[in-house]
Amino acid sequence: MIKVAVIGDGGHGKVVKEIVSARTDTRLIGVLDDTFSALQYSGELYTGPADSIQELRRLIPDIVFVLAIGSNIVRKQLAERLGLEQKDFVSLIHPSAMISKSAKVGHGTVVMAGAVIQAGAIIGAHSIINTGAVVEHDNRIGDFVHLSPRVTLTGAVAVSEGAHLGAGAVVIPEMSIGRWSVVGAGAAVISPIPDRVTAVGTPARVISHFQT
């Protein structure tokens, strides 16, 4: 049985905790969030701030973690702040998700209910493949990406680090989404999206630039 602590107790954290419970090979041991003041044990669950992670590891040496933070940039900042190794993170895949045997899912990534990841797709670390999202064959998804519910990436799409695609966005084959860019809900991407922009509409057009 894999002992899991979820880092993040917001709305996204609720969904991640349910994935842990839905699997037969994982057990929820703790929830860490900065809303808690100190590490405590209720008899069933450890709770505490994120910085109590080392204390929890001393108590349960074989525990692994998942970052249940919806914001891509905050998730990356927290990963860097905690300073854990790859082996300390677990990838969580909902039992109803469909993952090709030839696909690869990076450490700390969460794949939610009803998602589909097809042949040859590669998903980076600490990404979110949300409810019902479709990642078709030969996609390349970077670290700290978030594909919102019902996003559809057709064949050979490249999504770079930190990008966020809103609910129902569709990307045609062989397109690219730049680093830390945002694609609005329902957008249709038919041309490459550069780094650090917001693009919306059908077809998707850049409406703003920003720095991260």
**What are the catalytic residues?**
137
Helix (H, G, I), strand (E, B) or coil at 128: strand
Six-digit token pair at 16? 């991640």
Pairing relation of β-strands 146-147 and 164-165?
A: parallel
The burial of 25, by beta-carbon neighbours within 10 Å (0-12 exposed, 13-18 middle, 19 or more buried), is given as exposed
Q: How far is CA 76 from the centre of its chain?
A: 11
Closest CA to 7 of 70, 60, 62: 70
